[in-house]
Amino acid sequence: MKCVRCGLREAVHEGLCEYCILELHPPLPPGAIRLVVCPVCGSFRVGGRWQEIPLEEAVLREVEQLLDPRYALLGGEVKVEDSRVRLRLTLDVYGKRAEWEGERELRIRKEVCDRCSRRAGGYYEAIIQLRGAHAEEAANVAVREVESHPSRMAFVTKVERVRGGVDVYVGDRAAARRAARVVREAFGGEYKESSSLYGRRDGRELRRSTYLVRTPEFGPGDVVELGGRRYVVEAMGREFLLRDAWSGALRKERWEALREARLLAKAEDVVEGEIFYVGEGVAHVYDPESGELRQLPAPPWARRGKVLMVRVDDEIILIPGEAR
Ligand SMILES: [Zn+2]
Ligand SMILES: [Zn+2]
């Protein structure tokens, strides 16, 4: 049956085609499209929820809210020109696709969003406490992790340098917890969670959580002693990769096994030297500091040529691996 109004297209509802229905019942009310934007972060509030979306998308979402319930929005194009917006909507009209074009006034009001007002007020739910030799580096990782968390409240309130490390204050507990765990995966070390009551609101307990990561005193390139053997740290994290300075063999250890490890020398103290002769189990090297000739027990991997070495007190430790 053809449309009773235009006689051109098939009728889809009550004798009318989709375009005649759209003409008789415009999809949007004639008034302005009103948006609320946060002047601090640029988020828009649409349908009662703050969202980090571009202006055009915010318009489209608001259009969806205002849309006559006869129709469903399948897609749309939005062009904003000053305080007007040109719309091209693809709509479902009783099972048929139809295009609709129109123009509306655009009014944008400013209001600080929930996140920015909390942030400005110094709000936080958790503190990530970073300690140990890698505290600074770990704090950078923690901040990055918090900021990439999907929760809107996952912001860093402040970063504070304190005795022994860095404290990172975080607006969202779950984000803080995840970040602390990522740090621990990356650096290893001690990890502790705790929480304390700091007040009540509407009968609910308000808690603040603390996530402590004490990063190890040593890291990649450092030389450590463990169980009477010397190792070069090749990689750190939940598992450490250690190279036995004597045998050259690699060994993987969880952090828990390294609690007793003692730092012998930092990576920056490792220098390049030279083995000029190996024989009878003895390596002949020049002392990198005094220039004196020294004779050391030769590790099985030792060959004539350039070698990495480090002086610990009066002892020289030869280090397997490429001389840089
Ligand atoms: Zn028609
Ligand atoms: Zn905001």
Query: Based on the domain organization, do 313 and 245 belong to the same domain?
Result: yes
CA–centroid distance, 162 to ligand 2, in Å, is: 29
CA–centroid distance, 55 to ligand 2, in Å, is: 14
CA–centroid distance, 18 to ligand 1, in Å, is: 7
Nearest residue to 138 (alpha-carbon basis) of 115, 167, 114, 163? 167
Reported as a pLDDT band with limits 50, 70 and 90, residue 15 is very high
Q: How many domains does the chain have?
A: 3
Query: Based on the domain organization, do 228 and 315 belong to the same domain?
Result: yes
Structure tokens at 49: 């929820």
Query: Based on the domain organization, do 211 and 230 belong to the same domain?
Result: no
Say what the pTM is: 0.70
Q: Please say whether the beta carbons of 232 and 243 come within 8 A.
A: yes
In whole angstroms, give the CA distance from residue 122 to residue 34. Answer: 30
CA–centroid distance, 57 to ligand 2, in Å, is: 17
Which ligand lies nearest the alpha carbon of 21? 1
Segment 38-88, tens digit of pLDDT? 999 999 999 889 999 999 999 999 999 999 999 999 999 999 998 999 999
Domain's final residue, options 185, 215, 245: 215
11, part of any domain: no
CA–centroid distance, 89 to ligand 1, in Å, is: 18
Which ligand lies nearest the alpha carbon of 36? 2
Segment 205-235, tens digit of pLDDT? 888 999 999 999 899 999 999 999 999 999 9
Looking at residue 146, its pLDDT comes to 96
Query: Based on the domain organization, do 90 and 24 belong to the same domain?
Result: yes
Which ligand lies nearest the alpha carbon of 13? 1
Q: Please say whether the beta carbons of 186 and 192 come within 8 A.
A: no
Query: Based on the domain organization, do 57 and 145 belong to the same domain?
Result: no
Longest dimension (CA), the chain: 108
CA–centroid distance, 291 to ligand 2, in Å, is: 63
In whole angstroms, give the CA distance from residue 285 to residue 127. Answer: 51
pLDDT at 323 over 80: no
Full residue range of the structural domain in which residue 265 is found: 223-319
Domain's final residue, options 152, 182, 215: 215
Domain's final residue, options 49, 77, 110: 110
Query: Based on the domain organization, do 235 and 311 belong to the same domain?
Result: yes
13, part of any domain: no
Q: What is the mean pLDDT of the chain?
A: 92
CA–centroid distance, 42 to ligand 2, in Å, is: 6
Segment 84-142, tens digit of pLDDT? 999 999 999 999 999 999 999 999 999 999 999 998 999 999 999 999 989 999 999 99
Q: How many residues does the chain have?
A: 324
In our burial notation (b when 16+ CB lie closer than 10 A, e otherwise), range 57-79 reads ebbbbbbeeebeeebeeeebebe
Nearest residue to 18 (alpha-carbon basis) of 63, 70, 64? 70
CA–centroid distance, 70 to ligand 1, in Å, is: 16
Looking at residue 228, its pLDDT comes to 92
3, part of any domain: no
Which ligand lies nearest the alpha carbon of 23? 1
Reported as a pLDDT band with limits 50, 70 and 90, residue 5 is very high
* End-to-end Cα distance, the chain: 85
Query: Based on the domain organization, do 313 and 237 belong to the same domain?
Result: yes
56, part of any domain: yes
CA–centroid distance, 45 to ligand 2, in Å, is: 10
Looking at residue 324, its pLDDT comes to 43
Share of the chain above pLDDT 70, in %: 99
Query: Based on the domain organization, do 104 and 32 belong to the same domain?
Result: yes
Query: Based on the domain organization, do 64 and 91 belong to the same domain?
Result: yes
1, part of any domain: no
